[in-house]
Amino acid sequence: MQLDNLLYALVQVIHNFGAAAAVGLPIAVVRLRPSPDFVQKLIWVGLAAWLAQTVSGVGFGAVSYFMLGELPEIHNLAFGALVVKILCATLAIGLFVALLLRPAARAANGVWFALSGCGSAALLSAAFLRWFS
């Protein structure tokens, strides 16, 4: 077994679980209307999911750099997709922090739709980043 492939796979597992939560959690909040106490917990889960996305995204580059001696080469469309993913993560983390600081905003569907959009855009961008790099 090649160590670099094992490390990439482990980073990918973390990234995939973060992506599933980033997309599914906001949709679940809108559709299921959980209790305010449960929403509070889901906010922390959502924030953790986006932080996992961010850290594991950096992890892909770190594995390449430390195992192969260079960062992955990405250009054009793949670079644009990476920028979209970074912007989505930044916006989503900011929205989750805002939800923690402003409990009144937790019931607003617009915030949850925006979070769902961030997750969906990041997931779509991931496909372009993967196949065009």
Q: What's the pTM value of the predicted model, to 2 decimals?
A: 0.92
- How high is the pLDDT of residue 132? 86
- Round the average pLDDT of the chain to a whole number and report it: 94
- Using an 8 Å Cβ cutoff, are 100 and 39 in contact? no
Query: pLDDT by residue (tens digit) across 8-20?
Result: 999 999 999 999 9
Whose tokens are 């094992």? That residue is: 6
User: Looking at this protein, which amino acid is placed at residue 133?
Assistant: S
Would you place residue 78 in the very low, low, confident or very high pLDDT band (cuts 50, 70, 90)? very high
Residue 133 in this model has a pLDDT that exceeds 80: no
> What are the pLDDT digits (tens) for 94-117?
999 999 999 888 888 999 999 999
Q: What's the whole-number mean pLDDT along residues 80-91? A: 97
What's the residue count for the chain? 133
3-state secondary structure of 95: helix
CA distance 29 to 115: 11
Does residue 61 carry a pLDDT above 70? yes
User: pLDDT confidence of 1, banded at 50, 70, 90?
Assistant: low
The confidence score (pLDDT) of residue 130 equals: 86
